[in-house]
Amino acid sequence: MRFLCVNQPVKANIFGQDYELKPLDPLTQNIGDILVTENFSATELLTKHPGVLMNIGFDRNRCIGFPFLVNHITDMKRPGKVLIIRNGAIGDHILFLPALRIFRNMFPPHVDIWLSTQKEKHALFSNNKNIDRLLPLPVRLDTLLEVDYLIDFSDRDELLDFNRLHMTDYFLNFLSIDFKEIREKAPELPWNPRRSPQVRRLFEDLRKNCGRPLVLLNWTASNPLRNVPPEKLLFLAEDFENIQFVVAQPKKSRTRFRLPLQNTKGHVFDCTAAMDSLEAYLSAIACCDAVVSVDTATGHLAEALGKPSLTLFGPIASDLRVRYYKKAIAIDAIYKGQTCESPCGLHKTKDRCPEAVFRQSSFSPCLLSIKHETVRTAFKNLCHKFL
């Protein structure tokens, strides 16, 4: 857990939330201008805003009313408010959803759950019945002092290796919950596409005009380590003429992928122009019948929205991501190179993996090794789930 402040008056947007902050003043005791966040996001913010945002020393043991730090589910002896501080990518948050449900069932009665996470990701939690209050990240110190208990998943390092645990199990293990005894760990995300009326109408018209099932294709991930060339998935549009494929890439990717889409002979509809928010992307997936993707948030969102999915895995073993999923089909790369063997366990890189650098490839060789026929066969199996 980290405590941050500014050294000059600032208006800033942090993770989608607007803040107006002032330097600390002992006379006014403006503790609301102290921001509290977890370790990883603090490092990111300090790197992005050097000279303005500062890390401050804060002895929480000397702060009257500071919430009790929970490391075990039995630490909560009485009713009260518990604040969970959780930073992460979209897929990480989806894998956190089952843990939230389990926490709700196992916490003492009359415990209110507050969640502090990036405002830009709030759509993933806005209808969640297991949360009593949703807050932005960072959270202001005066708000944090309203709660009785605090859970910060970045504040312990004596737990089982994060890289060897399914992420949902990691969250449960953090509070010493026997995750092996918990059976139901698939994520659920209630979502109404009407929250993005433009996207909903777009897909309603598409389905009416084409009369075919809709399948979303995604070949880009949050890290280039898990990208594949567009052709790795677009060939499906030529092989399966009874399917209307949909591409919904981030707007910034549109120019880069325009040519591959133009060269595709099958049925591919590009709705990238409408993907201006997380809500729009959620609605796009909710309006489709299935998803085919690389290892990124898209496959997790499909499961949470109740859609069948096919996901290509390379650096990370599929079992660490979709072990508890009910509608997911996974393809794991089988690859042995000069510098690695899949799965290598590498989560992210700034550019390319060592094997890609060695082979002078723009993409991870393990993912490139997955043959079209393997994808084609797996897609046929996926079709049985929605046709």
pLDDT of 185 above 80: yes
Residue type, 235: F
Mean pLDDT for all residues in the chain = 92
Residue 48 sits in the same domain as residue 103: no
Structure confidence at residue 239 (pLDDT): 94
Q: Does one domain contain both 236 and 364?
A: yes
Domain boundary among 160, 181, 202: 181
Contact (Cβ atoms closer than 8 angstroms) between residue 252 and residue 229: no
Q: Give the pLDDT score at 104.
A: 95
294 found inside a domain: yes
| pLDDT value at residue 262 | 66
Burial 3-23 (b: 16+ CB within 10 A, else e): bbbbeeeeeeebbebebebee
In a domain, 316, yes or no: yes
Q: Could you tell me if 19 and 12 are in contact, meaning their C-beta atoms sit under 8 angstroms apart?
A: yes
pLDDT tens string 283-312: 999 999 999 999 999 999 999 999 999 999
pLDDT of 162 over the 80 cut: no
Q: Is residue 187 part of a domain?
A: no
* Domain-embedded: residue 83: yes
**Residue 58 neighbours by CB distance under 10 Å:** 17
For residues 72 and 156, give the distance between their C-alpha atoms in angstroms, rounded to a whole number.
Answer: 12
Please write the tens of the pLDDT for every residue from 38-52. 999 999 999 988 889
Work out the number of other CB atoms within 10 angstroms of the CB of residue 42: 21
Number of structural domains the chain divides into: 3
Q: Which domain holds residue 286?
A: 193-383
Domain closes at, from 62, 78, 101: 62
Say if residue 124 is in the same domain as residue 23.
no
Query: Which residues make Cβ contacts (< 8 Å) with residue 123, sequence separation at least 6?
Result: 277, 278, 279, 282
pLDDT at res. 193: 82
Residue 186 located in a structural domain? no
Summarize pLDDT for 220-257 with one digit per residue, the tens.
998 999 999 999 999 999 999 999 999 998 665 554 55
Residue 154, pLDDT score: 85
Q: CB-based burial of residue 170 (10 Å sphere; 0-12 exposed, 13-18 middle, 19+ buried)? A: buried
- Say if residue 98's pLDDT is above 60: yes
Q: Which residues contact 171 (CB under 8 A, 6 or more apart)?
A: 95, 96, 99, 153
Q: Are residues 212 and 134 in the same domain?
A: no
Query: Whole-angstrom Cα distance, residue 375 to residue 142?
Result: 52
Stretch 334-352: mean pLDDT, rounded? 91
Do 101 and 240 share a structural domain?
A: no
Which one, of 233, 228, 274, lies nearest residue 254 by Cα?
A: 274
What is the rounded CA–CA span in Å between residue 245 and residue 240?
A: 9
Q: Which residue has the tokens 């209307």?
A: 244
Roughly what angle, to the nearest 10 degrees, separates helices 167-174 and 90-106? 40
Domain identity same for 17 and 72: no
CATH number at residue 142: 3.40.50.2000
261 and 343 in a single domain? The answer is: yes
For residue 260, is pLDDT > 70? no
Q: Rounded to the nearest 10 degrees, what angle do helices 278-287 and 297-304 cross at?
A: 60
Is 153 found in the same domain as 32? no
Residue 180 has φ and ψ, to the nearest 5°, of -70, -20
- Where does a domain end: 157, 181, 205? 181
Q: Are residues 54 and 72 in the same domain?
A: no
Query: What is the per-residue pLDDT for 126?
Result: 86
Do 152 and 246 lie in one domain? The reply is: no
Same domain, residue pair 156 and 215 = no
- Is there a domain that residue 346 lies in? yes
Residue 265 pLDDT > 80: no
- The pLDDT score that the predictor gives to residue 160 is 57
Look at residue 16 and tell me whether its pLDDT is greater than 60.
yes
| Tens-digit pLDDT profile for residues 186-195 | 999 989 888 8
Using 50, 70 and 90 to split pLDDT, how confident is the model at 259? low
Give me the percent of the chain exceeding a pLDDT of 70.
94
Distance from the Cα of residue 48 to its chain's centroid: 21
Tokens (6 digits) for 84: 């969970």
Same domain, 34 and 177: no
When mean pLDDT is compared across 88-97, 159-168, 299-308, the lowest value belongs to 159-168
